[in-house]
């Protein structure tokens, strides 16, 4: 009997059987609308960050491969530095340029290469490479906090919209003094739509954050490995200056 009553309401037009996403938004309470708009904006921004990071990392990996090929080709490091000094094309080249700049500054002073001077120069070179690496990774990790925040907060924001919508639904029931589906359904649908938008924003943000964090960690390890190898090369050059 209850199912027949529901079907009768639908057929009579009391309940919109073709309720669209747009109608759910337009019929929602202003607070729920604000929640929906915020979640949609967060979702679009998350996708923009994810795509930008993915393509940027792919491009930087290709440039790092090109730089490593030039670095290990056996050519002069001074010539490579002269080509890259003004505009290093990628973080690995920036680390190389920062170390070579410190190397040349010390060489231009013509200071006698005592053991203490060599140790100090080695420490300065390692320090400038560490600073350059940290600066470049800070740039790459920009907006990652936003992905983490959306991934953790969006479901609760959507839940807030859901609770608010359900409150309005019960208020409508009390005002109409009618518990039929025609009164309850719109408010419940609007409320659940807010939860769905929260998940739509949170799921890509969490997956994108985890994937990008792993890729950034691998890229940082690649930069650290290069910095260590280049530091060892410069250390050998210092030992040869006797």
The predicted-structure confidence for 30-84, as pLDDT tens digits, reads as follows 887 888 899 999 999 999 999 999 999 999 999 999 999 988 888 888 888 888 8
5 occurs within a structural domain: no
95 occurs within a structural domain: yes
pLDDT reading at 14 higher than 60: no
> What is the average per-residue pLDDT within 137-151?
93
12 occurs within a structural domain: no
- What is the model's pTM? 0.79
pLDDT reading at 154 higher than 80: yes
Taking alpha carbons only, the member of 47, 57, 95, 46 closest to residue 217 is 57
Helix pair 91-109, 181-240: axis angle to 10 deg: 30
* The residue to which tokens 């090929």 are assigned: 69
6 occurs within a structural domain: no
157 occurs within a structural domain: yes
Confidence of residue 26 (pLDDT cuts 50, 70, 90): low
How many domains does one find in the chain? 1
pLDDT attached to residue 219:
95
215 occurs within a structural domain: yes
Residue numbers of the domain that contains 106:
21-240
82 occurs within a structural domain: yes
109 occurs within a structural domain: yes
């Amino acid at each position: 009997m209850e199912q027949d009553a529901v079907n009768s309401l639908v057929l009579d037009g009391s309940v919109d059987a073709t309720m669209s996403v747009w109608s759910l938004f337009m019929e929602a309470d202003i607070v729920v609308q604000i929640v929906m708009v915020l979640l949609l904006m967060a979702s679009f921004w998350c996708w923009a960050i994810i795509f930008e990071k993915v393509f940027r990392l792919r491009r930087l990996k290709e440039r790092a491969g090109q730089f490593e090929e030039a670095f290990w080709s056996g050519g002069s490091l001074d010539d490579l530095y002269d080509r890259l000094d003004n505009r290093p094309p990628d973080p690995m080249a920036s680390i190389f340029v920062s170390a070579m700049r410190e190397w040349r500054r010390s060489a231009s002073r013509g200071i006698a290469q005592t053991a203490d001077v060599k140790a100090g120069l080695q420490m300065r070179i390692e320090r400038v490479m560490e600073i350059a690496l940290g600066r470049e990774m800070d740039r790459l990790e920009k907006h990652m906090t936003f992905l983490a925040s959306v991934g953790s907060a969006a479901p609760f924001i959507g839940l807030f919209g859901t609770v608010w919508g359900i409150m309005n639904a019960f208020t409508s029931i009390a005002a109409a003094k009618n518990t039929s589906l025609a009164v309850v359904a719109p408010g419940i649908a609007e409320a659940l739509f807010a939860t769905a938008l929260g998940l739509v924003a949170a799921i890509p943000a969490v997956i994108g954050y985890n994937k990008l964090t792993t890729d950034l960690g691998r890229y940082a390890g690649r930069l650290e490995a290069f910095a260590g190898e280049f530091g060892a090369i410069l250390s050998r050059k210092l030992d040869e200056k006797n």
